[in-house]
Amino acid sequence: MPNPHKLACVTLAVLSLGMATAASAAYPEKPITLIVPFSPGGASDQAARALAAATSARLGANQIIVVNKDGAGGLIGSSEVYKAKPDGYTLLLARVATHTTVPAVREVPYDPMNWAVLGMLETNPVTCATSKDKPYKTFKELIAAIKASPEKITYSSAGPGTILHLAAVMLIEKSKIGDPQKIATHIPYKGGGPAALAAVKGEVDFVCQSYNEMSAHIKSGALRALIVLGNERLADVPDAPTSKELGIDGMEIAVGWSGLMGPPGMDPEAVKFWVSLLGEVKNNKAWQDGVKRLGSVPSIWSPAETVSFMKNALEKMKQIAKELGIKL
């Protein structure tokens, strides 16, 4: 007759083994939601889909599901991820707006530096462009038009405080033609894609945004690149001068970027998984070529490098916003 005590011990051991196996199950066990806080077609959306494609083989059945949740300059989608369960199954495609520009000019419903930072993905040079049907052939002609017709010249952005908004304000301020917040009229849209399309359609006079969000329009001839913000010309638009060439210093801070983040306190195993996976993606030639085709610069950095960059950029943007008197 079986010993009841032995049976109980065996049963307990089996149950314990089952619990241990369940507890140590490898992440990820299910698909991962990657929230893009801007509308489809923009730089953040493109970066998210490029990442999803580059990680598909490693993730297998547990693919990245890209979900666009736009509005409020990226704050709606970002806030949702910030409050999400920190199990690694809800991540954010973070942008310059959500962590360095919007927080520099207004209160946001989260701490921009208190996230599970998994790494930088890419950086995006900012370019200012106008419709092919507009009369401005050069940046100097655009500035002359703004000076000649105060408040009549308009520009689009992905929302107040985004890099699109601050880049235009900074450019106008440094051109010394008048109060940058009054002399030209800001028209906000729900994302970079709609902002670029507004310029293509002639709904606004110009737009300043990440080149990758406008590259297709510029290559097709629908938009005319007038200036590249920074110190180096872009190979795709070799005739567009840099802000430095035109004697406008300090514009290199106006650069777009995309990063991958999770909620504060994210599961350490999930963090470790993503840091490792991004290290693999960094050397993926297909991913590198795809990002370059979009007009971006592949820039996968470690969490520490990303945090250092973000802190520095946020402080600089706060200083610029204070100097320009921008507070939303």
- Residue 25 confidence (pLDDT): 65
Domain boundaries, the chain: 32-123+256-324, 125-253
**Using one digit for the tens of pLDDT, what is the confidence trace for 128-177?**
999 999 999 999 999 999 999 999 999 999 888 888 899 999 999 999 99
Spatial distance between the Cα atoms of 59 and 277, rounded to a whole number of angstroms: 10
Give the HSE-up count for residue 281: Cα atoms under 13 Å, Cβ half-sphere. 31
The answer, yes or no, to whether residue 277 has pLDDT greater than 90, is yes
Mean pLDDT across the stretch 287-312?
90
Are 32-123+256-324 and 125-253 equal in CATH topology?
yes
Cα–Cα nearest to 27, from 119, 113, 118: 118
Question: Do residues 277 and 55 touch, judged by C-beta distance below 8 A?
Answer: yes
pLDDT above 90 coverage of the chain, percent: 66
Q: What percent of the chain has pLDDT over 70?
A: 92
Closest CA to 210 of 257, 252, 168: 257
What pLDDT is recorded for position 3? 54
Task: Say what the pLDDT of residue 323 is.
Answer: 80
Q: What does the pLDDT look like over 9-33, one tens digit per residue?
A: 444 443 443 443 344 468 999 999 9
What length does the chain have?
A: 328
Q: Which residue has the tokens 């699109």?
A: 164
For 164-221, how does the pLDDT look when each residue is reduced to its tens digit (9 = 90+)?
899 999 999 999 999 998 999 999 998 888 999 999 999 999 999 989 889 899 999 9
Architecture of domain 125-253: 3-Layer(aba) Sandwich (3.40)
The model carries a pTM of 0.77
> What is the rounded CA–CA span in Å between residue 242 and residue 260?
29
**CATH entry 3.40.190.150 includes domain 32-123+256-324:** yes
What is the rounded distance in angstroms from the CA atom of residue 195 to the CA atom of residue 58? 35
The answer to whether the beta carbons of residues 147 and 178 sit under 8 Å apart is yes
What mean pLDDT is reported for the chain? 89
Q: Where are the alpha helices (DSSP H) in the chain?
A: 4-23, 43-59, 75-82, 96, 102-105, 139-148, 163-174, 192-201, 211-220, 268-282, 285-293, 303-324
Q: What was the pLDDT predicted at 19?
A: 43
Question: What is the predicted pLDDT for the residue at 63?
Answer: 95
Q: Does pLDDT of 243 surpass 70? A: yes
- C-alpha torsion angle, residues 295, 298, 299, 302 (rounded to 10): 150
Distance CA 25, CA 9 (A): 24
pLDDT given at position 24: 46
- pLDDT (tens digit, 9 = 90+) per residue, 19-78? 433 444 689 999 999 999 998 887 789 899 999 999 999 999 999 999 999 988 899 999
Report the pLDDT value the prediction gives residue 208, as an integer from 0 to 100: 96
Cα-only R_g, the chain: 23
What pLDDT was estimated at residue 9?
A: 45
Q: Give the residue, 278 or 232, on which the prediction is more confident.
A: 278
* Per-residue confidence (pLDDT) for residue 67, from 0 to 100: 98
